[in-house]
Copies of this chain bind each other. A is one copy, B any other.
Amino acid sequence: MFQGEFSNNMDEKGRVSIPAPFRDTLKTHHADGQLFITRSHNTDCLIAYPTREWKRLQAAVKEMPAKLRPHFKRAVITPSQLFSPDKQGRILLAGVLRQHASLSRAVHFAGTGETFEIWDKASWDKQLVTDLAALQDFELDM
């Protein structure tokens, strides 16, 4: 499980450390240790899928409304890149992906269970304000 929030800094070369807890789950639960990273189709962030989840996504694409499929393929499947963290646990995010999430220096990692998201810290903070505002009057009954 990918859980928790972590902020790391991207250096001048464009390298960012994957948070250690995420590396651990990747290593222990996902044999090949590889990550497919692509853009989110409806938020300003990137989503990292371990191989198993990436396959599930591809299966889901086949099930989605035919009209949306080409859009989704171009927007999400095509720009995806395969990563394996280097010995220091870092990845090098380049070009298209970095731009889509407006990544500059402060990079925010957010665990979402089977995958995790990669945000620019400022964007995340902004999003969080919106989230909390939307929940202000919500009462959870359990």
Contact = CB atoms under 8 A, between A and B. Distances in A.
Contacts of A20: none
B134 A68 contact: yes
Interface in A112-142: 112, 127-128, 130-132, 134-138, 140-142
Given A3-B80, A4-B80, A5-B78, A60 B94 contact: no
Name the interface size band of chain A. Answer: 35 or more
Given A68-B135, A75-B135, A78-B112, A41 B4 contact: no
Instruction: Identify which of A4, A64, A79 gathers the most chain B CB atoms within 10 Å of its CB.
Output: A4
Contact of A68 (B3, B64, B110, B138): B138
Contacts of A80: 3-4
Interface of A: 3-5, 7, 41-42, 56-57, 59-60, 64, 68, 70-75, 77-82, 94-96, 110-112, 127-128, 130-132, 134-138, 140-142
